[in-house]
Structure 1
Amino acid sequence: MSYYCLNPNCQTPQNPEGAKACLKCKESLAPLLGRYRPSDALAKGAFGKTFIAVDEAKPSKPKCVIKQFAPKDPASASIALRLFQHEAEQLDRLGKHPQIPELMAHFEQDQRQYIVQEFVDGQNLKDELKSRARLFDEGEIIQLLRDLLPVLSFIHSSGVIHRDIKPDNIIRRSTDQSLFLIDFGAAKHAVSESALSAPGTVIGTPHYDAPEQAVGQSTFASDIYGLGATCVHLMTGESPNYRLYSHAEGGWVWQKYLKMPVSDKFKDILDRMLARELKHRFKSSEAVLQALQLLTQGTGRSTAGIVSALVNPVPPPPKAEVKKIRPNKTVDTSSSSLSVFELKNFKFQVATVALKQTGLFGLVNSCEVYKTTKEAEFFTGYIGLGRTFEMVFIPGGTFQMGSPESESDRKPHESPQRMVKVAPFFIGKYPVTQEQWDMVVTLPKISRDLKASPSNFKGLNRPVERVSWHDAIEFCARLSKKMGQVYRLPSEAEWEYACRAGTNTPFHFGMTITSDLANYNGEKTYGFGTKGKSRRETTSVGSFQVANAFGLYDMHGNVWEWCADPWHDNYNDAPNDARVWEGDSNEDTAILEPDGTISQFATEENAVDNGYRILRGGSWGNDPHDCRSACRLRDLPTSEYSDYGFRIACS
């Protein structure tokens, strides 16, 4: 590795490894801040240079990027310095996101300004387009939008407008093909007045800038325009200049320059992204994602109607102007965003375990599994980066909650049994996975910080664990804010109703359970069941490929699942419906605004801790009797163990 001289005027900046001073200009080659050592130049421009460097303070010595402010034109130095410092401020404001290079340092040394950022090893889309044998097609652009729109949603939720979306500022990382958004020098905070947006200050890149941006009136929709212009560039190979926009025809004509056809529905979406008037353009990244979701689901409805509804949504009736709801109560879905999702059917295998006695006098037990195929309805929610979650429709009904006194290994706190009426709701097909957690943890904080990758047993498709009740509430709050729909923990009654799926036996499998169908301590048996495996760790969700009659997986074992309710020692005086059985002072509330956003959701201030909370379902380390449908566990809401997880619900 060579050492690179940072003197902007040095004519021979490359130096051999180990050199203390530049062989040409004699400037010191000591690493910046004693740790960041530049090794080569990446790029240079009118305002400075960019270098690839090594962080020598870390054992792995990872690569990083150093940006040096060194303007060539003194007349523009003042605005250039503000842009440079502004980039550092915006990156610091945004914090961490898996598709934005992390700000590692911003400082002045030897009377020069520096920014140090995470290094993204890859190629920007402008260079990628040049190296490709063909242009981008519709499917590739849809995937690109699915990858980048959540990034825009993230920065917009932080109040930041990028203002320079273009192929040069999007890098595809070579290791996993993830897309990164870079160069926040032009970004501004949406609610602040800044000299960077004053008349006469050129911000952004011509042809990618929305019309309102040219007059210093950028909005979040300006970034939607820039992303749309990027898409047509990648599909046509032409810069989105006046050749692609016809004043004579009064609109975009980019489709005339396509080498490969696109569907009319997708053209409608891109045209809405590129609408020159704000009132006709998508207002948010989420609106574009919803349009794409409906497009790819093949709804058969007019895309023009879909896009129009998402750009100019019908306002809710006055009586629904602001709704205060408990996160565990039924929500009126007639005015919620749930109606945006279209239900689909899916088929699944339902297993029933039957005990078979063989041998002399029937003393040898074995389990036989019978499988049938059923169907249920579900919808898919899109988080971002291709990460989704599936919510299964649970029809309303009435069931007997708790366990009978005749049930083996039951506990007194499962009594007295009572009939409970349950309204229809949705619940996760699987427990929340680590992949889903990793995406939601990057969303803006509502009330508390969340740990990245908290799980003991790593695996993207394994359930997230080592999460507290408070962590699960924060996850739901962030997801709700992102989706514009209240997601929550299920109530204890909803959980047991969903688990039983019409059965009244100890397990939805029947009178016993087998480790061929669930992850628990199979070295122990229940009833007349047989011994099996004890895996001593979590397994990927759905890996046993059997569900209950509602279409839910992993309801028995794998991880305990938090419920919303505080603990009660028995069911005396419990409500006869499925709402959360509140403690005396618990007033967890959520406010669902008319536009679908969540303005308050179980914050530390309004979530009064009444002691223990409830977990259900048993885990990988529990004996089979702890995995029964009626089994209850209590623990403090701050507890986090490697067998504690959760699944989400919504009404």
Structure 2
Amino acid sequence: METWKKGKQLNNGQYIIESMSLRGGRGIAYKAMDTTRGKVVSVKTTPKVWQNPEIEKKIVQQGINIARCNHPSLVKVYPEVFQENDLVYMVMEYIEGDDLASFIDRHGKLSEKDALKLIAQIASAVNLLHQKRVLHQRLKPQNIILDRLSRDPIIVDYGLAIKLFAFENDKQKNAMTDSFSPPELGEEKAKIGAYTDIYSLAAILYVLLTGQLPTPSQFRQYKDLIPPQQLSPNLGDRTNQAILAGMSLDPQQRPKYIRDWLNLLPLEQLKENNPPSEQNLNSPSTANISLSPEQDFIIDDEQVIPLQGDNSPSPLNPLTANTPKIESFEFDSVVIQAKKKLFGLVGGIDKQIISKQNKFFVEYLGEGINLEMIFIPAGTFLMGSSNNDPEKEKDETPQYRVNIFPFYMSKYPITQAQWTIVSNFPKVNRHLKPNPSSFKGDNLPVERVSWHDAREFCLRLKGHTQRNYRLPTEAEWEYACRGGSHSLFSFGDMINPQVANYDSRVNTKKGEDKYDRKTTPVDSFSPNGFGLYDCHGNVWEWCEDHYTPSYINKAKDGSAFYSKLMNSPRVVRGGSWSLTGNYCRSAKRSSYAADSTYNFIGFRVACVLDG
């Protein structure tokens, strides 16, 4: 692949190349001027080596998903992935500063406290990638920049986390001679995991504390790894042992998750709040290398661990362990309608893609599993079906106007992976089976859970997070399901196997039926107008309300309806894989006894944030 000269223009002149970047990483990177944003950016390129359009689409989409990982120690990736002349390129923020390798070369090793501060924030960023179910696999000091202004560490290369750069022929070329690569990266068909990145993090900490490169894993059968404490005698025992554990040649002997490795380190040292001395401020090995207060925390698998000794919120930073980080995201929803031919005949489906934006926060449950909560804005809507709706049923009337207050709802029906994690949280009222579902799969919706089980799940989640988790009310569910639409479904007035999982054997042409008679992964179809998935089909979803056969006595503020008869059935919404499309309408209602457990009933959760 030829290199680009200064002045070369890309994407119709939006990017003008200034120079090639000498920073390490996958592919070739260039410093460029973004004429649209009016700022310098980094443009990363790789040859296009795949031919399958479906693979290409998935790779590009993954690059965009990674771009939405928002962390102060991850370089910002703009959601732009382009192809020109058989090259694919991504656009990232350009960070001014020195990489860690250059800094150590010039100034020497760091103190234990300063090194722990740096590695804690770097590990926090890598942990967020793990929460997104991707591994970096190429962590090294050359890919970590100390920002020129803040002096915070920023990972400027995503390694193989973005599959865009994972298909290069020299993928494994330097893995075995790299001091930061674990042995499994040089093996054919090797099994990798979070422990793969832990090896690299431990090796980076080794360099920060000793100023020396560790022995590459390939050569350690001939030359033992020198313990870091031997090179830095003042190093504490816990840090020394944590590095050796993280750099074990046997992946099974390393900590399994970043949380486990961080627990080995003496991070309590960072709670000390001693004022820096003038000598420390002027010392080149410690100058300004500290985490700014608003970034001084680690997102752990199970909780937020403050690194400050004083846990009281700063006037400039109201962040607390019980305040989630609200982020924005972009997504595409769809609207479908029948394609009309001459004489009114139907000839296929027209699909319109609509770009949307919304807000969300992430609940970190542990062991790489998280729960994404989507913002549902306040609004007013007509609940139920109108009198002239041909699909309406009696219990969907009379249609009435409901006011909804803002809340958050889980992006997907609760998955089996999420259920398993939360089922191990402390019991509140009742026992939960860790694997109750008939159809097995981490990313499939949990089913065969009763209304009582779903309530217990919410209570355990509430106790773990100290946030107000509960089942959505029926009115909240329908409002969220509609996603701002007024049609029978959030995607229009018709349903098709391309947009939902339901029994599509009725009114589907032979050969077009995709009915699998089972649940499907929760991210199989497009989201609605709020960014929620699977509101139609897959599994019925429990709501808080008792069932009532009409809307005459329903509250207009969106609150739940409770019957005087406590054994009254509970409402379910959304239809399921086992029923026809009519049952998947936004207004459709049904009910089951609260202790029912079927392989077509699941649930999702709602949350109201304090303040």
d(CA) in 2 for partners of 1:299, 1:626: 53
Alignment correspondent of 1:353: 336
Most deviating of 464-473 and 480-489: 480-489
1:245 CA displacement? 5.6
| Structure 1 residue 630 corresponds to structure 2 residue 587 | yes
Distance 1:465 1:346, change over 3 A: same
Query: 2:330 is aligned with what amino acid?
Result: K
TM-score (norm 1): 0.50
Q: Deviations 1:482-540 (Å, cap 9, x if unpaired)?
A: 112121111111100001111121111111111111111111249x9x97432211110
Whether contact under 8 Å (1:147, 1:384) holds in the other structure is no
CA–CA distance in structure 1, aligned partners of residues 383 and 297 of structure 2: 48
Q: Take 1:384 and 1:454, find their aligned partners in 2: how far apart are those partners?
A: 20
Find the counterpart in structure 1 of residue 416 from structure 2: 434
Equivalent position amino acid for 1:570 in 2:
S
Q: 1:245 to 1:568 in 2, by over 3 A?
A: same
Q: For 1:487, what is the secondary structure of its paired residue? A: strand
Is the partner of 1:368 in helix, strand or coil?
Answer: strand
Among 342, 349, 352, which residue is 2:325 paired with?
A: 342
Opposite residue 329 of structure 2, the aligned amino acid is F
CA distance in 2, matches of 1:139, 1:309: 10
Please give the alpha-carbon distance, in whole angstroms, between the structure 1 residues aligned to 2:530 and 2:326: 15
Tell whether the 8 Å contact from 1:493 to 1:579 is kept in structure 2 after alignment.
Answer: yes
Pairing of 1:126-141 with structure 2 (within 5 A): none
Q: Corresponding residue for 1:556?
A: 536
CA–CA separation in structure 2 for the residues paired with 1:446 and 1:516: 40
The offset of 1:239, in angstroms, is 6.0
- 1:135-284 residue pairs with structure 2 within 5 A? 142=124, 237-238=227-228, 243-244=234-235, 272-274=267-269
Give the AA of the match of 1:301. E
Instruction: Confirm or deny that 1:473 pairs with 2:455.
Output: yes
- Tell me by how many angstroms 1:435 deviates: 1.0
1:468–1:272 distance in 2 versus 1, CA, 3 Å: same
1:375 aligns with 2:357: yes
Distance in 2, Cα, partners of 1:345 & 1:275: 31
> C-alpha distance in 2, partners of 1:498/1:272?
42
Cα displacement (A) at 1:311? 5.1
Specify the alignment match of 1:211 in structure 2. none
Partners of 1:146 and 1:564 in 2: how far apart?
32
Q: 1:459 maps to what in 2?
A: 441
Per the alignment, residue 99 of structure 2 pairs with none
Check 1:312–1:412 CA distance in 2 against 1; reply closer, same or farther (3 A cut).
farther
1:640 is aligned to 2:597: yes
Equivalent residue letter for 1:576: K
Partner letter of residue 424 of structure 1?
P
Distance change in 2, residues 1:384/1:358 (3 Å): same
What's the % identity of the aligned pairs?
37
State the alpha-carbon separation in 1 of the partners of residues 339 and 449 from structure 2.
40
8 Å contact kept, 1:434–1:462: yes
Partner of 1:573: 553
Q: 1:303 aligns with which of 260, 273, 296?
A: 296
Q: Displacement, 1:382?
A: 0.4
Seen in structure 2, the aligned counterparts of structure 1 residues 406 and 532 have a Cα distance that, compared at 3 Å, is: farther
Show the 5 A alignment for 1:385-534. 385-525=367-507, 532-534=513-515
Separation (CA, whole Å) in 1 of partners of 2:549 and 2:327: 40
Aligned-CA RMSD value:
4.7
How far apart, CA to CA, are the structure 2 residues paired with 1:366 and 1:449?
A: 49
> Shift of the alpha carbon at 1:139?
8.3
Deviation at residue 336 of structure 1 after TM alignment? 11
Verify the 8 A CA contact 1:455 1:465 in the aligned structure 2.
yes
Q: Show CA shifts across 1:545-599 (max 9, x none).
A: x1111111111001111111111111112111111122337xxxxxxxxxxxxxx
1:362 counterpart = 2:319:
no
In structure 2, what is the Cα distance between the partners aligned to 1:548 and 1:427? 13
Q: In structure 1, what is the equivalent of residue 567 of structure 2?
A: 610
Deviations 1:27-86 (A, max 9, x none): xxxxxxxxxxxxxxxxxxxxxxxxxxxxxxxxxxxxxxxxxxxxxxxxxxxxxxxxxxxx
Q: CA deviation at 1:373?
A: 1.2
SS state at 1:273 partner: helix
Secondary structure, in 3 states, of the residue corresponding to 2:294?
Answer: coil
Letter in 2 for 1:346: F
Shift of 1:467: 0.8
Distance change in 2, residues 1:439/1:368 (3 Å): same
Amino acid corresponding to residue 607 of structure 2 in structure 1 = C
1:324-365 deviation line (CA, Å, top 9, x unaligned) = xxxxxxxxxxx9978622222222111111122225x22345
Amino acid of the residue matched to residue 235 of structure 2?
Answer: L
What SS class does the counterpart of residue 373 from structure 1 fall into?
strand
Number of corresponding residues: 371
- Inter-partner Cα distance in structure 1 for 2:321 and 2:487: 33
Cα separation, 1, equivalents of 2:120 and 2:320: 27
Give the Cα–Cα distance (whole angstroms) in 1 for the partners of residues 488 and 320 of structure 2: 37
CA distance in 2, matches of 1:447, 1:414: 33
Report 1:311-330 matches (<5 A).
312-314=310-312
Query: Once the 2 structures are TM-superposed, how far is the Cα of residue 617 of structure 1 from its aligned partner?
Result: 0.3
Asked if structure 2 preserves the Cα contact closer than 8 Å seen for 1:349 and 1:374, the reply is: yes
Provide the rounded CA distance (Å) in 1 between the counterparts of 2:446 and 2:406. Answer: 26
Judged with a 3 Å threshold, the aligned counterparts in structure 2 of structure 1 residues 300 and 402 are, in CA distance, closer, same or farther, namely farther
| Contact 1:525/1:531, CA 8 A, preserved across alignment | no
Letter in 2 for 1:553: Y
Amino acid in structure 1 at the alignment position of 2:339 = K
CA deviation profile, 1:246-279 (whole Å, cap 9, x unmatched): 9xxxxx9999x9x99xxxxx99x977523687x9
Q: Which amino acid aligns with 2:554?
A: A
Compared with structure 1, are the counterparts of its residues 409 and 300 closer, same or farther at alpha carbon in structure 2 (3 Å cutoff)? farther
Local SS of the residue matching 1:522: coil
User: Cα–Cα, structure 1 residues 440 and 531, in superposed 2: closer, same or farther, change >3 Å?
Assistant: same
Query: 2: distance between equivalents of 1:338 and 1:421?
Result: 31
Q: CA deviation at 1:619?
A: 0.6
Which residue is 2:100 aligned to? none
**8 Å contact from structure 2 (residues 313, 319) kept in 1:** no
Give the secondary-structure state (helix, strand or coil) at the position aligned to 2:515. coil
**8 Å CA contact retained: 1:147, 1:385:** no
Specify the structure having the higher radius of gyration (Cα): 1
Q: In 2, Cα distance between the equivalents of 1:301 and 1:382?
A: 19
Q: State the match for 1:3 in structure 2.
A: none
Match of 2:520 among 510, 525, 539: 539
1:377–1:304 distance in 2 versus 1, CA, 3 Å: closer
Aligned residue in 1 for 2:49: none
C-alpha change, 1:454 and 1:506, in structure 2 (3 Å) is same
